[in-house]
Homo-oligomer: A and B are copies of this chain.
Amino acid sequence: MNGAESLVRSLLASGVDTCFANPGTSEMHFVAALDKVAGMRCVLGLAETVVTGCADGYARMTGRPAATLLHCGPGLANGTANVHNARRASTPMVNIVGDHATWHRPHDSPLTYDTEGLARTVSDWVRSSESSDRIGVDGAAAVQAAMTPPGRIATLILPADTAWSDGGRVADPLPVPQRSMVAPDTIRNVALALRRRERAVLVVSGQALGEEGLEAAQRVAHASGAMLKTSTQIPRMARGRGRVPVDRIPYAVDLAMRELGGVRHVVLVGARPPTGFFGYPEKPSLLAPSDAETHVLARPEEDAVAALHGLADELGAPARVGIPVGEVEPELHKGPFEPIAFATTLAALLPENCIVSEDAVTSGRALLAPTFNAAPHDWIQITGGAIGQGFPAATGAALACPDRKVVCLQADGAGMYTLQALWTQAREELDVVNVVFANRIYKILHGELLAVGARPGVASNELFDLARPELDWVHLANGMGVEAARVDRLEAFADAFRAACGRRGPFLIQFDI
């Protein structure tokens, strides 16, 4: 058995059974091993950032890593942006990066690259396999690293000769560390702070955004009067009727500071301290008042759900508390696109138990609050600010959950980064309704330019405008085998969306806004 075959068998033994790939010559023995060994589902992406974005969406929905298969340093580089997004979501991911044979590398042939140096910039764990008899255990170690809470990026570099040489050995799965429990003292100290009944906010992220974690957080809020918020970026959240409606801290620094104004206690539950996405002149990086105390209830790798229940018990909360409902009732609106009217309409249309993949940028700022009372659904979102995550993450989520409808809410500028994902949706006949917000501008940048006090001129118009020529998403989707329609009013959107949800397979709706 060669090294490549031992790696495929070891990955399967460790529970990795899906491989998103865009291989090249140095990965041919791995591909040959995939042919030989049954059980690994192989999914092609036509650009590497599609491959890694799919793996992110897949793992967010399954809780298990997919493997990616990438070709040398430049292949990894092409996929890096969505690995970065995954890393910021604490997504488990195992990247297999083929590379030159060890003895070929010193000759510096054209595709030679500092693959390991590149991998280190985006991974929590990096290893280069050194011999065919080590690849199996290296693969098992990569899965172990990826599954280490809260979820990590593991990148295994696979020199071609270690893949093709004999002597491969299949490795047993390695034990996966469990989430560590929060110390009782920590819980008591947070309870002590909250009992003062000063203005407090619980910032909840990661594991605690599941249905049970949110209910536990609601118990704490009920007993303490603390606000509940989630971080501005959402890895995955249980939402809709019957789930606790928790809004995110706004992206805009001024709005965020206003919402957190007067807060004396910031309690972090698997979340980082509320921080502005960017630094701006004369504005602080940290969004909470400078005299607020920060309490870490649970670090991202700790059991936040148990800690929340422990805190709620400590505060004397009842075992079950009422789940609040959102303020906005779902309703079909008419007329041209308007953010809240759209979100309210969408809330009326979202299918039961669907998955929403959101990379809607400016068009998405108002989506959360009006959809609290939609049918129950999961929401996954761009987490690292590297735009172009919506289509691929939707694609991976659809592969992970073939029985659930996926709704992709995609900004047009960001969508052009990874439009190739539509082809994978068509090839795999995935049940995704893609909604592209066609505002024909990098609108966020237009706003940011005004915010720095500049007046838009010739250059910024050249660099922000997407209207000249117009992007025709119906043609683009059709070119990749995805049916599509174009709408410019909410009532037409509702018709198109309902029709798309009523059939199987991918569909794209261009909403001219």
Contacts and interface: CB of A to CB of B under 8 A. Distances in A.
A481 B459 contact: no
Given A285-B107, A384-B110, A454 B32 contact: yes
B73 A121 contact: yes
A49 B103 CA distance: 30
Contact of A74 (B34, B84, B104): B84
A463 B78 contact: no
A385 to B, nearest CB: 4
Contacts of A279: 100-101, 103-104, 160-161
Contacts of A107: 273, 275-276, 285-286
Contacts of A419: 419-420
B278 A31 contact: no
A179 interface: no
A77 B78 CA distance: 7
Interface in A252-294: 272-273, 275-281, 285-286
In the complex, the count of this chain's copies comes to 2
B420 A416 contact: yes
Given A28-B452, A455-B35, A480-B469, A285 B463 contact: no
A90 to B, nearest CB: 12
Interface in A453-483: 454-460, 462-463, 465-466, 468-476, 478-481
A484 B183 CA distance: 66
A300 to B, nearest CB: 12
Contacts of A121: 73, 113-114, 117-118, 121
A23 B111 contact: no
Which of A28, A413, A449, A470 has most B Cβ within 10 Å? A28
Contacts of A420: 416, 419
Contacts of A337: none
Interface stretch (A38-46, A59-67, A189-197): A38-46
A458 to B, nearest CB: 6
A427 B31 contact: no
Interface in A12-59: 21, 23-26, 28-29, 31-32, 34-36, 40, 42-44, 46-47, 49
A328 interface: no
B74 A44 contact: no
Nearest to A163: B452
Contacts of A232: 110
A31 B459 contact: yes
B457 A36 contact: yes
Contacts of A278: 25-26, 100-101, 104, 109, 111, 160
A473 B475 CA distance: 10
Q: Which 7 A-B pairs have the closest CB atoms?
A: A469-B481, A104-B279, A35-B457, A475-B479, A34-B459, A32-B454, A101-B279
17 contacts: A25-B444, A25-B448, A29-B452, A31-B449, A34-B460, A35-B457, A36-B457, A73-B84, A78-B78, A107-B286, A110-B277, A114-B121, A118-B121, A427-B468, A471-B480, A472-B479, A476-B476
Interface of A: 21, 23-26, 28-29, 31-32, 34-36, 40, 42-44, 46-47, 49, 72-75, 77-78, 80-81, 84, 88, 100-101, 103-104, 107-111, 113-114, 117-118, 120-122, 160-161, 164, 232-233, 272-273, 275-281, 285-286, 383-386, 388, 413, 416-417, 419-420, 423, 426-427, 444-445, 448-449, 451-452, 454-460, 462-463, 465-466, 468-476, 478-481
